[in-house]
């Protein structure tokens, strides 16, 4: 329905071009033809408008630029490092840890020995991977020749053992005391007492350290039977004991009330 109406001026223009071609001066004819091409305003025409439908705000478009994560090399080649020094920060494994280096949980490469940083490739190990290593002397190179002994550093000093005089266990000496008849009698003392040290702690109170409190049972020689999963005998005994205790308590309670 729409098409023939819009084609009408084009058709008229085309016929006028065809007519004028026989007459002569082509330019005049062309102008005339284009004049006829002009769409007559009175005829109804459909026009389409594309409105903006792309969300501009909210979470649609991610932030294009966040703060930098300060990735990259923290130590350059041949630079001196000590154990724990971070050599390279990265996302993913652009670099792999080589000799005397290790990789952290976010792929950070750090040194495990003191020495000089070397960035290298080891085609015999892997043709694509690149490694970061630490050598002990600046002139040394990586990778090492195939099957050659590893370079290893002791990193220790030899000292004499301090002579520790072997003492009789103090607690035993205390506990065993000779009676008037010369018979060894065990002295009663509170278990685990004796070697407790009280220090002034935070909050102006004298008390033991938490770790010492945690070892109190061990000091008092309290042995707890190790829990064995599936040991029905012990479980039954425990359950029976608990039930008996509860029953006893209930009985006593009732008595007290009555």
Distances (CA, A) of 61 to 44, 65, 68: 41, 11, 19
Residues of span 211-250 touching another protein by CB under 8 A:
none
> Shortest gap between Cβ of 82 and another protein (angstroms)?
5
Q: Does 178 bind another protein (CB under 8 A)?
A: no
**Region binding another protein by CB under 8 A among candidate stretches 63-71, 86-94, 158-166, 180-188:** 158-166
Residue 13 or 135: which CB sits closer to another protein? 135
Q: Does 166 bind another protein (CB under 8 A)?
A: no
> Shortest gap between Cβ of 81 and another protein (angstroms)?
8
Q: Does 200 bind another protein (CB under 8 A)?
A: yes
The H-or-E segment that residue 199 falls in is strand 199-201
Instruction: Using CB under 8 A, pick the residue from 152, 191, 215, 239 that binds another protein.
Output: 152
Distance in Å from the first CA to the final CA of the chain: 105
Give me the residues paired with residue 121 across strands: 130
Nearest-Å Rg of the Cα atoms of the chain is: 47
Residue 129 or 207: which CB sits closer to another protein? 207
Q: Does 11 bind another protein (CB under 8 A)?
A: no
Phi/psi of residue 130, nearest 5 degrees: -120, 145
For β-strands 86-89 and 109-111, DSSP reports them as antiparallel
**Region binding another protein by CB under 8 A among candidate stretches 11-19, 45-53, 146-154, 240-248:** 146-154
Distance CA 209, CA 123 (A): 55
Q: Does 55 bind another protein (CB under 8 A)?
A: no
Distance CA 186, CA 171 (A): 11
Closest to 34 in 3D by CA, of 46, 24, 20, 44: 20
Instruction: Using CB under 8 A, pick the residue from 46, 55, 161, 172 that binds another protein.
Output: 161
Residue 23 or 200: which CB sits closer to another protein? 200
Chain mean position to CA 208: 36
Residue 199 or 218: which CB sits closer to another protein? 199
Asked if 194 and 171 count as a contact pair (C-beta separation under 8 A), the reply is yes
Phi/psi of residue 91, nearest 5 degrees: -105, 120
Instruction: Using CB under 8 A, pick the residue from 8, 30, 32, 83 that binds another protein.
Output: 83
Q: Which residues here bind another protein, judged by CB under 8 A?
A: 80, 82-83, 85, 114, 147-161, 199-202
């Amino acid at each position: 329905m729409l098409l023939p109406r819009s084609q009408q001026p084009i058709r008229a223009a085309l016929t006028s071009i065809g007519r004028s071609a026989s007459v002569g001066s082509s330019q005049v004819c062309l102008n005339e033809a284009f004049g006829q091409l002009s769409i007559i305003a009175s005829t109804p025409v459909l026009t389409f408008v594309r409105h903006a439908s792309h969300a501009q705000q909210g979470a649609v478009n991610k932030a294009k630029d966040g703060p930098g994560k300060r990735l990259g090399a923290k130590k350059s080649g041949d630079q001196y490092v000590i154990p724990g020094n971070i050599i390279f920060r990265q996302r993913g494994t652009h670099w792999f840890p080589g000799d005397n280096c290790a990789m952290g949980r976010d792929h950070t490469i750090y040194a495990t020995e003191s020495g000089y940083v070397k960035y290298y490739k080891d085609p015999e190990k892997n043709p694509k991977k690149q490694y970061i290593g630490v050598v002990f002397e600046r002139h040394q190179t990586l990778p090492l020749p195939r099957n050659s002994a590893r370079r290893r550093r002791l990193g220790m000093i030899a000292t004499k053992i301090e002579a520790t005089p072997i003492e009789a266990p103090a607690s035993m000496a205390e506990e065993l005391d000779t009676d008037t008849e010369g018979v060894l009698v065990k002295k009663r003392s509170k278990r685990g007492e004796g070697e407790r040290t009280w220090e002034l702690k935070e909050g102006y109170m004298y008390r033991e350290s938490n770790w010492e409190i945690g070892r109190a049972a061990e000091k008092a020689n309290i042995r707890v039977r190790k829990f064995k999963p599936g040991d029905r005998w012990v479980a039954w005994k425990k359950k029976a004991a608990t039930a008996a205790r509860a029953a006893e308590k209930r009985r006593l309670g009732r008595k007290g009330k009555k």
